[in-house]
Structure 1
Amino acid sequence: MFEISIQIDRPAQTVFRYIEDIESAPAWYSAVQSVTKLTAGPAGRGTRYAFSRELGGQVLENIVQVTEFEVDALLTLLSLNGPTPFNYRFRLVPKGNKTHLHLEGSITGRGLPGAMVLLAPLASTFFERGMRANLLNLKRIVETARPAG
């Protein structure tokens, strides 16, 4: 289990729009090559996605489901299958025109293929480091985007 907190200099509504647009995750989440929505309708609790991620030079697939969804406040993603089972809980706390983004994550290396299985005990540490960089990338994208309207 790991926790990461960052401040983004944009309102929570703006930050949430980026996080809930899960199909755009490859723009800020370095290991994610593609995301395909598997269920119809807008994103919300129960929505499923196919994630294609590259880890250690290999492409790995996960089916991921939104398990918590509160507009402008909370989004939780849970992998339902595939290697490196994970649960990411994004919580947004408005601070005026800024947002405190808090990620609680858990991930294991269970299911890593081949020699990568030797890294399984260190999975949480590697993913925490990677997710910190990913969230800083998200911050940069959100803060430099032109405001809508």
Structure 2
Amino acid sequence: MDRRLQIVMDAASPRALGTFWASVLGYVEDPPPPGYDTWEEALIGWGLPRDRWDDAYAIVDPEGVGPRVFFQKVPEPRAGKNRLHLDVGVPGGPDAPGTEKDKDGMRAHAARLVDVGARVVREYDDPAQGFWITMEDPEGNVFDVV
């Protein structure tokens, strides 16, 4: 059985949303297939019309550890609450969730994500569960900075 994990996200613009998430996760664009130097060459080689070039996009962990994230174009916008969301840690953050230092680092990280297109929804500070910040990506998908 193949146990590799790929996360798939529906998107209005896979390339734009994928570029946002690459920035959030520290990922890079999935390399083009063998025989092509760029994705543009591959899409032209496959005969895909230009109006379909934003039908899909993928990003990968440059260290090869995390799962591939694939974005697929869908015609409808997100409706209702996510049934699944991602928890995004702070790069290089301390291992002591709930500390004031951790909260400041999380707020600073959230501010960087706002600069690349995210929106802060709400901060939570729960004595039992700790501190986290709920955010939305540019297409309204909810995720948490933890």
TM normalised by structure 2 equals: 0.30
Return the index of the structure with the highest Cα Rg.
Answer: 2
Counting helix residues as a fraction of each chain, which structure ranks higher?
Answer: 1
Higher percent of residues as strand: 1
TM-score (norm 1): 0.29
